[in-house]
Amino acid sequence: MGIRVFGWFRRKSVEKGHFAALDSARFPDFAPGSVWLVGAGPGAPGLLTLLGYHALGRADIIVYDALVSPALLDMANPRAEKIYAGKRGGKPSPKQADITLKLVEHARSGKRVLRLKGGDPMMFGRGGEEVQTLARENIPFRIVPGITAGIGGLAYAGIPVTHRDTNHTVIFLTGHDEKGGIPQGVDWPAIATASPVIVMYMAVKHLPSIAEKLIAAGRDGSDRLAIVSNAALPDQSVLETTLGRAGDLADAAVPTPAIIVLGPVSRYRETFDWYAGPLRENTIG
């Protein structure tokens, strides 16, 4: 079936033009009264999946996060109602319960509801909590994965999250809990040396404290640390230091959103740093 579909797409691409072939593609039905949770990717609008693009064009209601590119919303159904539900640290934000309630209410009114979330909806995006409620309320839903910043954002910085010469494992860690503090449920001694690479989401604010905990638990303070800010966007920047010097960043104005990677993989930037110069002029990615 996969080969047959690919052959169909390639034939249609030649006949009608590459993207025009999607006009007659048999996308799944985005039914009224249902909710699609879609990952928007790490930043560049071009990293949205085909299913995500299909949902944008069909949705009646779009409930979107702060990190969703405005360029993606420009691709949406022009008749769709757009509802901002962004959460940013230290700023007034809607409560998660209220966001989920909106999804349920709009779906019950017969709308096609698109929950558009930065990165991947199931990677530290509270998508699981929203799905729990939808399932409990018998609201039909679909999960459309997105490219998470801990993989795609690092790739745009020339950092492979795994490389067979450096690591066969990776740990993904959130840098704060639901109240904005350092996660209390993390077994720091267990994770400190469990993997050569640790990728940290939403961790800039607490990075000095996290570094202290990791070093106290046995992590080498000389380990490489890279902070990728505004990943996959024209203003992307990368700050490279070591774990032991993370405390020096306490008063630094590190741009956010940012993804942080601890471990030897950031050394590959020396040869893999491809997203630079004229490539950044294309805002699609």
Residues that are catalytic: 65, 87, 202
Contact by Cβ (8 Å): 204, 272:
no
The 8-class DSSP code of residue 115 comes to E
- Helix, strand counts (H, E) of the chain: 9, 10
* One-letter amino acid for residue 266 of the chain: S
**Listed residue (238, 181, 235) closest to 210, CA to CA:** 181
Alpha-carbon distance of 87 to 129, in angstroms, equals: 15
What's the chain's Rg over C-alpha atoms? 20
158 contact partners, CB below 8 Å, separation of at least 6: 268, 269, 271, 272, 273, 274, 275
Contact by Cβ (8 Å): 176, 205:
yes
* One-letter amino acid for residue 251 of the chain: D
Other Cβ atoms within 10 Å of 28 Cβ, number = 11
Q: How far is CA 125 from the centre of its chain?
A: 8
Spell out a b/e string for 184-198, using b for 16 or more CB atoms within 10 Å of the CB, else e.
eeeebeebbeebbbb
